[in-house]
């Protein structure tokens, strides 16, 4: 296992009905391919040794004998390989015939799992030939000259991960066996299947697999038979799926007239993190005694991941953009609507800088007023130019307030700050932290006092990424009466503003697009000689797309620094080199730990996604915890 990943495969071999010798030859070829690709566990379809569509030929002694001889041949095949192999075969046990999954590794049969739920409908009539697992209490059987464990209560593992097996119809019943397998410790479920194609069935099957992998906090590998099965009455497409915790991560090509090996990696550490957090996970665990069967750990630990990791894990896919953005805005608007009505405030008051965060907050306020049927003039936006304000951000702030029809005010903070510098005996030519934070706190004082004057509620504009990094002035922009963006990371802020720009009037659209193209900056230091922004946040603390990536895996799954660096180097390969990633990750860890005190007293705000840093809910951390040590990615 490399960095918590187990490489698995769903194999779709060519099949000839009732020709066990041919079928074994094709299975053997795919086993060798899986070994070459460093697969640790490979799963074949249901009854892949004989073919699923043998019908009454299953009653023929010769076919059953051929199937057992095929298992003998497969033992020889696996003698020189390290991959664990799961094969579908019919087995005769005490005058009963069972549809089984046979697990082999290193030239041995490790265990046999019988199918529990047998279909009994117009298309499939397995009960005509096979007995369900519940029809026997046998725990060991003799097959291919070996005495091996038999039953549905088998777990297979190497001490670092474990897997269990169900067969086809088992997935489609109200309580699949895999539910109990997962609660008893199986982190990956393998399903040997032979499911025919019907209109719309494939989409339903995908949903089943995604839902079951999500409910079980498990990996799910599904291999269904394809080319070569009888087409007398139905057709098989060769479906192969690999899912992880509710998401399909790899699929086969349907109706392909050639063999396929679908390979990907399951993140075991991610699944374990989910289960640790879900304290209800084992509440309904059965009293069945499960048996753990040892598999050999793969001798290879180094492999390049086939999986592609999203560089922006907080950002929804473009395919669902309208739905996702509408929902996020609805959450923000829903939270603010309740708070506005509850406080009976006459106005909402917020500072408008011409930057991304205040722009999103303003859009939320406008949508909230519209939803409640309030006049937009009940929103007071204040632009407060200071020593670092540029013409670009100032113009965008003023124009956006006017285009959205809110009550717009302009209050310069320069004179007030100069007076304050005089009061505290600070030279305004020294552009240090005092110079910067004085401006942030002056702006907050103005907002709070205007709020008092108007019986208004001050709306915070800071986002989740800034909270994680502590990129806010304590008792300055750190403070508000309700922080509408506190659950929205910076990459998602940009995504939402971009979406809003394409769903709004043309005048506001042009302003929003320019805001999107403006460098992120607190604008607390004087502009450059050419009037452009001199203080660029991402030059100082690192790019937000990296910080959001770090934040997601650090909070959502509690991954170690080494694991996060490994994922980041994979996700951003060719974009940032490992030195840059490591540099900014060290900044992230350092700031995240040192700035917790700001999060310990952060204002209320709505949770939007799976991560939030509210000290009252999702994140409870001591302010004086010691930052984790970070080993070099290359060490």
pLDDT in tens, 398-440: 999 999 999 999 999 999 999 999 999 999 999 999 999 999 9
210 pLDDT more than 80 = yes
Rounded distance between C-alpha atoms, residue 195 and residue 257, angstroms: 17
Domain end: 531, 551, 578, which one?
Answer: 531
What is the mean pLDDT of the segment spanning 476-496?
97
Residue 244 has pLDDT above 90, yes or no: yes
Per DSSP, the three-state class of 623 is coil
* Coil, helix or strand at residue 123: coil
Mean pLDDT of 341-349: 98
Q: 167 CB contacts (<8 Å, ≥6 apart)?
A: 46, 88, 99, 100, 101, 113, 115, 116, 191, 192, 193
- Same domain as 236, residue 110: yes
CA-based angle 417:420:424, to the nearest 5? 140
Q: What is the DSSP letter of 603?
A: P
- Find tokens 């607190």 and name the residue: 522
pLDDT in tens, 533-548: 778 888 889 999 999 9
Q: CA of 487: how far to CAs of 5, 29, 349, 361, 596, in Å?
A: 30, 51, 20, 12, 16
Domain presence at residue 55: yes
Do 325 and 273 lie in one domain? The reply is no
471 has a pLDDT exceeding 70: yes
Q: Which residue from 618, 511, 483, 485 is spatially nearest to 554, judged by alpha carbons?
A: 618
CA–CA distance, 606 with 600 (Å, rounded to integer): 16
484 within some domain: yes
- Give me the pLDDT at residue 425, please: 97
Same domain, yes or no: 266 and 397: no
Question: Residue 463 is part of a domain; what is its CATH number?
Answer: 3.40.50.620
Residue 574 lies in a domain: no
Is the pTM for the entire model greater than 0.85?
Answer: yes
Same-domain status, 341 and 435: yes
For the record, the structure tokens of 281 come out as: 């996970």
What percent of the chain stands above pLDDT 70? Answer: 99
| Confidence grade of residue 282 (pLDDT, cut at 50, 70, 90) | confident
Helix, strand, coil % in the chain, rounded to nearest 5: 40, 20, 40
Check residue 300 and give its pLDDT: 67
For residue 124, the model assigns a pLDDT of 67
C-alpha distances out from residue 10 to 82, 92, 178, 219, 243, Å: 16, 26, 17, 12, 11
Count: domains in the chain: 2
Has residue 379 got a pLDDT over 80? yes
Percent above pLDDT 90 for the chain: 88
Q: Look at residue 86 and tell me whether its pLDDT is greater than 90.
A: yes
191 and 45 share one domain:
yes
Strand partners, 291: 154
93 and 174 housed in the same domain: yes
Mean pLDDT for all residues in the chain: 94
Final residue before a domain boundary, out of 489, 506, 531: 531
Catalytic center residues: 46, 115, 168
Residue 13: what pLDDT? 97
| Number of Cβ atoms within 10 Å of the Cβ of 284 | 10
- What is the domain-level CATH number for residue 44? 3.60.110.10
Single out the residue in 254, 280, 306 at which a domain terminates: 280
- Domain range for 384: 318-531
596 falls within a domain: no
Q: Is the pLDDT of residue 531 over 80?
A: no
Q: Are residues 368 and 261 in the same domain?
A: no
| Number of Cβ within a 10 Å radius of residue 577 | 12
> If DSSP codes are grouped into helix, strand and coil, which group holds residue 152?
coil
- The residue whose two tokens read 């046999």 is 112
Mean pLDDT across 302-330: 92
- Do 144 and 109 touch, CB atoms closer than 8 A? yes
What pLDDT is stored for residue 122 in this prediction? 61
Shared domain for 136 and 217, answered yes or no, is yes
What is the structure's pLDDT at 294? 96
The rounded Cα 110 to chain-centroid distance in angstroms is 34
How confident is the model at residue 635, as a pLDDT?
43
Q: How far is CA 513 from the centre of its chain?
A: 29
Q: Decide if pLDDT at 633 tops 60.
A: no
Model pLDDT, residue 19: 97
**Looking at the structure, do residues 326 and 202 belong to the same domain, yes or no?**
no
CB 497 within 8 A of CB 508: no
Q: Are residues 263 and 342 in the same domain?
A: no
What is the DSSP pairing of strand 140-143 with strand 146-149?
A: antiparallel
Tell me the residue length of the chain. 635
User: Does 45 have pLDDT greater than 70?
Assistant: yes
Question: Within this chain, do residues 217 and 96 fall inside the same structural domain, yes or no?
Answer: yes
Q: What is the mean pLDDT of residues 510-516?
A: 96
Q: How confident is the model at residue 354 (pLDDT cuts 50, 70, 90)?
A: very high
Same-domain status, 374 and 498: yes
Mean pLDDT of 213-226: 97
């Amino acid at each position: 296992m490399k960095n918590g990943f187990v490489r698995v495969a769903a194999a779709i071999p060519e099949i000839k009905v009732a020709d066990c010798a041919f079928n074994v030859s094709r299975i053997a070829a795919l086993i060798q391919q899986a070994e070459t690709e460093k697969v640790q566990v490979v799963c074949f379809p249901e009854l892949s040794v004989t073919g699923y569509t043998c019908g009454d030929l299953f009653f023929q002694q010769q076919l059953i004998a051929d199937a057992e001889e095929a298992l003998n041949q497969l033992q020889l095949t696996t003698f020189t390989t390290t991959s664990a192999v799961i094969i579908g075969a019919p087995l005769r046990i005490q005058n009963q015939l069972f549809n089984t999954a046979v697990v082999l590794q290193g030239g041995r049969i490790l265990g046999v799992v019988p199918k529990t739920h047998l279909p009994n409908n117009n298309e499939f009539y397995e009960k005509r030939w096979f007995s369900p697992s519940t029809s026997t209490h046998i725990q060991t059987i003799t097959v291919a000259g070996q005495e091996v464990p038999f039953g549905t209560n088998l777990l297979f593992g190497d001490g670092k991960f474990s897997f269990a097996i169900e067969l086809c119809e088992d997935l489609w019943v109200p309580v699949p066996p895999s539910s109990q397998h997962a609660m008893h410790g199986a982190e990956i479920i393998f399903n040997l299947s032979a499911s025919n194609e019907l209109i719309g069935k494939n989409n339903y099957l995908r949903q089943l697999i995604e839902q079951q992998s999500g409910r079980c906090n498990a990996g799910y590998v599904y291999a269904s038979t394809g080319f070569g099965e009888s087409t007398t009455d139905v057709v098989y497409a060769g479906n192969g799926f690999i899912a992880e915790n509710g998401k399909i991560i790899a699929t086969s090509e349907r109706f392909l007239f050639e063999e396929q090996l679908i390979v990907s990696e399951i993140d075991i550490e991610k699944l374990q993190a989910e289960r640790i957090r879900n304290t209800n996970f084992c509440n309904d665990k059965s009293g069945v005694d499960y048996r753990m069967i040892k598999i050999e750990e793969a001798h290879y630990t180094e492999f390049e991941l086939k999986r592609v990791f999203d560089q922006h894990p907080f950002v929804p896919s473009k395919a669902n953009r309208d739905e996702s953005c509408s929902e996020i805005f609805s959450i923000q608007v829903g939270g603010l609507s309740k708070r506005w009505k509850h406080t009976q405030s006459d106005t909402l008051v917020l500072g408008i800088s011409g930057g991304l965060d205040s722009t999103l907050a303003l859009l939320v306020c406008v949508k909230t007023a519209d939803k409640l049927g309030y006049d937009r003039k009940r929103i007071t936006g204040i632009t407060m130019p200071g020593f670092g304000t540029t013409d670009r951000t100032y113009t965008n702030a003023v124009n956006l307030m006017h285009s959205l029809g809110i009550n717009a005010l302009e209050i310069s903070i320069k004179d007030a700050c100069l007076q304050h510098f005089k009061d505290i005996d600070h030279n305004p030519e020294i552009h240090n932290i005092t110079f910067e934070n004085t401006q942030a706190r002056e702006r907050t004082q103005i907002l709070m006092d205007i709020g008092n004057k108007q019986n208004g509620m001050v709306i915070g504009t800071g986002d989740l990424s800034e909270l994680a990094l502590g990129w806010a002035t304590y008792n300055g922009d750190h403070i508000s009466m309700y922080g509408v963006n506190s659950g929205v990371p910076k990459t998602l802020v940009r995504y939402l503003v971009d979406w809003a720009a394409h769903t709004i009037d043309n005048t506001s659209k042009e302003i929003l697009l320019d805001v999107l193209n403006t460098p992120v900056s607190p604008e607390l230091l004087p502009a450059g000689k050419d009037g452009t922004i001199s203080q660029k946040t991402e030059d100082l603390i690192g790019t937000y797309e990296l910080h959001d990536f770090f934040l997601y895996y650090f909070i959502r799954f509690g991954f170690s620094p080494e694991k996060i660096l490994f994922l980041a180097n994979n996700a951003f390969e060719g974009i940032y080199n490992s030195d840059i990633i490591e540099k900014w990750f060290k900044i992230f860890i350092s700031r995240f730990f040192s700035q917790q005190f700001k999060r310990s007293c952060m204002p209320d705000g709505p949770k939007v996604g799976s991560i939030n840093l509210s000290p009252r809910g999702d994140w409870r951390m001591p302010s004086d915890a010691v930052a984790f040590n970070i080993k070099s990615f290359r060490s």
